[in-house]
Structure 1
Amino acid sequence: MSIFKKLGWFFRQEKKHYLLGVFSLIVVAIVQVLPPKMIGLIIDEIDQKQLSGSKILLWVALLTLAAITQYGFRFIWRTNIWGSAAKLERSLRSQLFHHFTKMDHLFFQTHRTGDLMAHATNDVSAVQNVAGAGILTFADSMITGISTIIAMVLFVDWRLTILAMIPLPLLAVTSRVLGSKIHVAFRDAQAAFSDINDKTQESITGIKVIKTFGQEKEDIADFEEKIAHVIKKNRRVNRYDALFDPCITAIIGISYGLTIFLGGHYVMEKTITVGQLVSFISYIGMLVWPMFAIGRLFNVLERGNASYDRIEELLAEETHILEDEHGLTEPAHGDLAISIDSFAYPDYPEQTILRNIHLKVEEGKTLGIVGKTGSGKTTLLKLFLREYDNYQGTIFFGAHDIKEYRLQALLLSIGYVPQDHFLFSMTIRDNIRFAAPKSTQEKVEEVAKIAAIHEDIEAFPEGYDTLVGERGVSLSGGQKQRISIARSLMLDPELLILDDALSAVDAKTEEEILRHLHTRPKRQTTMITAHRLSSVMHADEIIVMEQGTIAERGTHVQLLQKHGWYAQMWSKQQLEAKIERGEQ
């Protein structure tokens, strides 16, 4: 029953609706004990040959009135109890989604996508059942059971009632034992469901890679193994759940047996009438639902309890990026001043990724960042986006440290094109104007031309109304990159970050994009990481990263004169370009 205490905040919030629902259940319970009594009286009148046509009409009218009354009040409790449960579902889904949107990069590294989806679907549904089916079952079983027992005492015989109740304590013991086992089993089943959910999402997303490497059979085998694990865990839940009904049936059978034995004796002794015995047997039949309901109730409550614990654990996690509630709300602008003494990822605090990074980028200038894979280029950019705050040092954007800005103000000042470009399942136009959905077509085309993608889009049959498919599956890598660049330019950001964002375009297109960026009327500060040095050769300053620190720095010409890593890589790439062009 602890789940009711955990959801106390919601029941207090929806108190009026639940009280009205429970009141309607009480009315239904009172009204439904009357028909068996009426039937018993009718049987006694038949036995005594006193039933007339007018009495039949009266009894039929009373039974019809009881049915209509039950119908009306059942409608009331359904709309109030189930309606409130739907509000809880909406509230939990909203809380989870809001929580996901505010969490940091580390959170999504720790939790798999499929697991988060399971929390937002199966777990929420299980908790919603507590507020709906759980409350209904608890209130209805208690009210129906108590009203039926009272009717058995008042309308038939108290001794017979006590005898029929003797087996019922067995139900409480059974429910307690099986309920605790279901709680543990269902928690394991939900965790297994999260695994299969994550596997499905990952396989569908990576289906091209799976097919390319001919791993369909292996992936299917892995999927079937996980399915078998889920089935195994759910069989355990179902096994415990299935034990409730046989136990309740046995207990009810004992009650029927005792009732028929003693009730028949009372009829023979004229203590009760035949009609009263029939009524009593009908009341025992009415007790079947409350008893079965207790078994169902423990099932619902334990499932909901396990799921709510999982949701609470997730919501209790806090982002490592602490935002100043009274931080700066105006857009960030000005020079960039970077002074990073050291940085290590939270998962590996002993492994320093960046150290002694000290540089300044004047407003409107371009900084090129190059280096070997794993040298720390992308990591440095992540600090600008405040994906991590646990570095030793400062990063100033204009006159203020980036930690002094509200995240919304900071991030809206930055246009970011990541290595792994992500497009949504919508039109090209809506993907480009994602951050500014009310932008005009003229603005969309303007940034598309800067990104050298306008002509490609115009060549599509549907033009800017072309649906790109999930994650941009219908587009080439270069087209997705250029659409991502156009999207980043929609808000005219103060800082444009291109994280190896030109790797999938040819040299001619790359040159065109960079020329457009440098000749814009409003030239923003730009940071470009690249493996192809032609992407940064026109930068105002270039830094060469090596093992997390700056190994070389200067302009393109200055770095060539140093004959270091940059000069060697430039010569190598120029030679490769000549070979591709067929030159000697």
Structure 2
Amino acid sequence: MKDRSILTDYVQKHWRYYLLAVSLIILSNIGQAAIPRVLGQFTDALLNGGIQYQMIIEYSLILAGIGIMYNLFFGAGQFTVMRLGRKFEFEMRQSLFSKFSTLSEYYFSKQGTGKLLSSMTNDVNSVRESISNGVTMTTNAIFLFLSCIVMMLLSHIPLYLILVSVVPMVGIPFLVIYFGPRIRKRSQNVQESLAVMTESAEEQLSGIRVTKTFAIEPTARQRFGTTVNHIRDNQLHLVRMSSLFQAAVPFLGALSLVISLLYGGYLTIQGTITIGNFIALTLYLRIMSGPLQQIGNVINMMQRSGASLDRVNRLLAEKPDIEDHPDAQPLASTPDLKIEHLSFAYPGSERYALSDINLHIEAGQTVGIVGKTGSGKSTLVKLLLRLYDPPENTVWLGGTDIRQISLQSLRSRIAYVPQDGFLFSTTIRDNIAFSDRNTPLEKVEDHARQAMIYEPISNFPEGFDTKLGERGITLSGGQRQRTSLARGLVKKGPILILDDSMSAVDAVTETGILNNLIRERDQYTNLIISHRISAVKHADLIIVLDEGTIVQQGTHQQLLQQQGIYSSLYQLQEEGLRA
């Protein structure tokens, strides 16, 4: 995506409205530029003694009409531009969120959440200001300046006097050339430091409970203060450069006014121009200093928004690591799972997370997967969900290479319940019915019973309509896991994956949930990943992973008869229960 495409495409899409807005602003500028000429004529008429009270009323009505016209046209034009800017802001945030939803887990592991949030807020807002205020101010500055020149000529002010008076303004382009790149660089530094601060704030607030339990609030404030100080330093650098630029531009305008007073006053004394023309000249130069100031503001604004636009462009140009194959097909209704010689290493890592995995799971089987932390259990799940792509011809579902199954079909048919199931800040009912918001309350309650979370929820004053705090903080750890489990059961996918999703549940509750699971999903494929032997011992097949390799597989009884990791884990856990 080219740097200009976001704004260019948007302006081209709404060019009629922009043309209308610019035309209205131009008309308002013509009216404003006529005021000094009218005042000059009025002054000459007063000095010549040829003005009557009726003419005073006429001049007053003319000025009032010009004022009304200016306010109506300029107000309508500015409203149109601002409305277009807000629409752009809305569309860009929608586009960014849509883009984020297509990017892979690997991308988010590289990018901080705070930086992405900063782009959706600070960067988009900065670009919106540039196409709202920027269009208004640029149009106003250019055409008001030109209108003033034309009106001065129509007022019979000598051309040489006009040229001499505006000579200092020729220096403005040179100021832009010098200050522009420097302001842009400093603005980019400010936006980047704002992104770092947003990321730090999000992290600190998310971990506020840990901070409080360790009583390290001063340390947290110091860490956050460091990022704020960095923003302050960068903003001061930007302010210094911007202030110099914004001060230099009106200085040139003031210099023009000084020249007009000296030379124009001399010509007035000599009788070359009338007093009315002299007053009109000074008024025109005073009006023209406004556009000059606006030019400076626009340049500063464009330099700041340019840095933001670059970041937004880069985000929208990101290509998803995981995409549908051109010939992608839907997943079979009750697929079997086949893995052959699967080896996988995460991007940027030379160490294999999984090595030469071979496995066949028939449709309708319940399979347990156990192993120590870091043995590759969760990596296998990520490959099945295509959060990362496995090598070609290593993983098949229903006889089809998983890479040739459409992502929507694949993920919609797999119900995945992670250990730290994320709960949203909405009602418990909405969280459980997340995959289908039209799920009847009766079904929500039924699956809550299967996950053994119905009773705790019913005890809340508002029951299933209870609103959860951020990340489900209203619930305990075990309640969050069971609510997440109920959400997975509602999905009714032909494949259910429980990724250590009962680790915070006591043994009695775990047994009840597993019994419900066996009864309700005996026709579906279930993958249960757990550190607890009690969670998988009922499975048709148990896989034992160690350092990315399958070291054992079989039923519970078969594995107990073998001397290996499984029997050792079982003995340790049994001893722990007895103790």
Deviates most, 87-96 or 539-548: 87-96
Aligned position for 1:249:
250
Question: Do the aligned partners of 2:450 and 2:517 also contact (CA within 8 Å) in 1?
Answer: yes
In 1, the alpha carbon distance for the partners of 2:120 and 2:356 equals 43
Counterparts in 2 of 1:15 and 1:558: CA distance versus 1, 3 Å: same
Within-5 A mapping of 1:491-570: 491-520=491-520, 523-570=523-570
Q: How do residues 35-434 of structure 1 correspond to structure 2 at under 5 angstroms?
A: 35-155=35-155, 156-329=157-330, 332-348=333-349, 350-391=350-391, 393-434=393-434
What does residue 487 of structure 1 align with?
A: 487
CA distance in 1, matches of 2:179, 2:529: 60
Q: Which runs of no fewer than 5 residues in structure 1 stay unpaired?
A: 580-584
Letter in 1 for 2:134: G
CA contact (8 A) 1:333 1:397 kept: no
The answer to whether the Cα contact below 8 Å between 2:37 and 2:152 also exists between their aligned partners in 1 is: no
> What amino acid is aligned across from residue 317 of structure 1 in structure 2?
E
Amino acid across the alignment from 2:271: K
After superposing on structure 2, the runs of 4+ consecutive aligned residues of structure 1 that deviate more than 6 Å are 2-6
Instruction: Decide whether aligned partners of structure 1 residues 185 and 400 sit closer, same or farther in structure 2, where only a CA change above 3 A counts.
Output: same
Q: Which runs of 5+ in 2 are unaligned?
A: none
Give 1:240's aligned amino acid.
M
CA 391–325 in structure 1, closer or farther in 2 if over 3 Å, else same: closer
Partners of 2:3 and 2:310 within 8 A in 1: no
Report if the CA contact (8 A) 1:331-1:413 is conserved.
no
SS of structure 2 residue aligned to 1:489: helix
What is the letter of the counterpart of residue 185 of structure 1?
R
**Which residue identity lines up with residue 569 of structure 1 in the other structure?**
L
- Provide, for residues 38-71 of structure 1, a one-character-per-residue CA deviation record: whole Å limited to 9, x for no partner: 1111111221222211111111111111111112
Q: Which amino acid aligns with 2:447?
A: V
Asked whether the 8 Å contact 2:338–2:361 carries over to 1, the reply is yes
Q: Could you tell me the percent identity over the aligned residues? A: 35
| Residue matched to 2:24 | 24
Structure 1 SS opposite 2:73? helix
Contact 1:331 1:410 in 2 (8 A): no
Alpha-carbon contact 1:342-1:352 (below 8 Å) kept: yes
In the superposition, relative to structure 1, how do residues 482 and 3 fare at CA in structure 2: closer, same or farther (>3 Å)? Answer: closer
1:505-538 Cα distance to aligned partner (Å, 9 max, x none): 0000000000001011663211011111100000
Distance 1:12 1:51 in 2: 52
2:342, 2:390 within 8 Å by CA — same for their partners in 1?
no
Residue 106 (structure 1) shift: 0.6
Q: Is the contact between residue 343 and residue 392 of structure 1 (CA under 8 Å) also seen in structure 2?
A: no
Contact 2:6 2:313 in 1 (8 A): no
Kept after mapping to 1: 8 A contact 2:332/2:398: no
2:520 counterpart SS class: coil
Counterpart of 2:444 in structure 1 is 444
Deviation, structure 1 residue 24: 1.0
**Contact 2:433/2:487 (8 A) holds in 1:** yes
- How far the C-alpha of 1:269 sits from its partner, in A, is 1.3
Paired AA for residue 476 in structure 2: S
Aligned counterpart, 2:9: 9
- Write the deviation string for residues 135-188 of structure 1: whole angstroms up to 9, x where unpaired: 222221111111111212221221210111111121111122111101111111
Partner of 1:582: none
8 Å contact from structure 2 (residues 104, 320) kept in 1:
yes
- TM-aligned CA deviation for residue 324 of structure 1: 2.4
- 1:496 deviates by 0.5
Looking at structure 2, the residues matched to 333 and 213 of structure 1 have their Cα atoms a distance apart, in angstroms, of: 49
Q: Offset of 1:325 from its aligned partner? A: 4.6
Distance 2:106 2:542 in 1: 30
2-side partners of 1:165 and 1:466: how far apart? 69
Equivalent positions of 1:462-473 (< 5 A) are 462-473=462-473
Contact 1:332 / 1:410 at 8 angstroms: preserved in 2?
no
Distance 1:27 1:15 in 2: 18
Distance in 2 (CA, whole Å) between partners of 1:266 and 1:569 is 104
**Which moves more between the two structures, 59-68 or 110-119?**
59-68
SS in 1 for 2:436: coil
2:353–2:376 contact (8 Å) kept in structure 1: yes
CA distance in 2, matches of 1:533, 1:80: 66
- Give the direction of change, closer, same or farther, for the CA distance of 1:562–1:20 in structure 2 (3 Å limit): same
SS at 2:168 equivalent: coil
- Alpha-carbon distance between aligned partners in 2 of 1:277 and 1:542, rounded to the nearest angstrom: 97
Q: Is the 8 A contact 2:448 2:486 kept in 1?
A: yes
Label 1:4 to 1:347 Cα distance change in 2 as closer, same or farther (>3 A).
closer
Once superposed, what is the RMSD of the aligned Cα atoms? Answer: 1.5
TM superposition shift of 1:117: 0.4
8 Å CA contact 1:36–1:282 kept in 2: the answer is yes
Q: Which amino acid aligns with 2:65?
A: L
Shift in Å at residue 566 of structure 1? 0.8
Q: Deviations over 1:478-526 (max 9, x none)?
A: 0000000000111211000000011000000000000001011663211
Contact kept? 2:331, 2:398, Cα under 8 Å: no
* C-alpha displacement of 1:21: 1.1
1:570 alignment partner AA: Y
Secondary structure in 1 aligned to 2:491?
coil
Q: Please tell me whether the aligned partners of residues 393 and 401 of structure 2 are also in contact (alpha carbons under 8 angstroms).
A: no
Q: Is the 8 Å Cα contact of residues 392 and 403 (structure 2) preserved in structure 1?
A: no
Distance 1:198 1:466 in 2: 30
SS in 1 for 2:353: strand
Instruction: Check whether the contact 1:336–1:396 (CA below 8 A) recurs between aligned residues.
Output: yes
1:5 and 1:372 mapped to 2: Cα distance?
50
Distance 1:361 1:313 in 2: 42
TM-score, normalised to structure 1, is 0.96
In the alignment of these two chains, the number of paired residues is 577
Q: CA deviation at 1:338?
A: 1.6
How far has the Cα of 1:333 moved from its partner? Answer: 2.5
Cα deviation 1:526-564 (Å, max 9, x = unaligned): 101111110000000101101100011110000000121
Q: Which string of whole-angstrom CA distances, capped at 9 and with x for unpartnered residues, describes residues 413-444 of structure 1? A: 11101122100001111100011001101110
Distance 1:520 1:167 in 2: 85
The CA distance in 2 between the partners of 1:332 and 1:160, in whole Å, is 86
Counterpart position of 1:574: 574
Q: CA deviation at 1:314?
A: 1.6
Which residue identity lines up with residue 102 of structure 1 in the other structure?
T
Worse-superposed segment, 370-379 or 148-157: 148-157
TM-fit CA distance, 1:289: 1.1
Tell me if structure 2 keeps the 8 A contact 1:342–1:393.
no
Which one is further off, 464-473 or 384-393? Answer: 384-393
Secondary structure in 2 matching 1:545: strand
How far did residue 271 of structure 1 move? Answer: 1.0
Is contact 1:3-1:304 (8 Å) kept? Answer: no
User: In structure 2, the residue corresponding to 1:50 is in which secondary structure?
Assistant: coil
Q: Report the Cα distance in structure 2 between the residues aligned to 1:428 and 1:341, rounded to whole angstroms.
A: 39
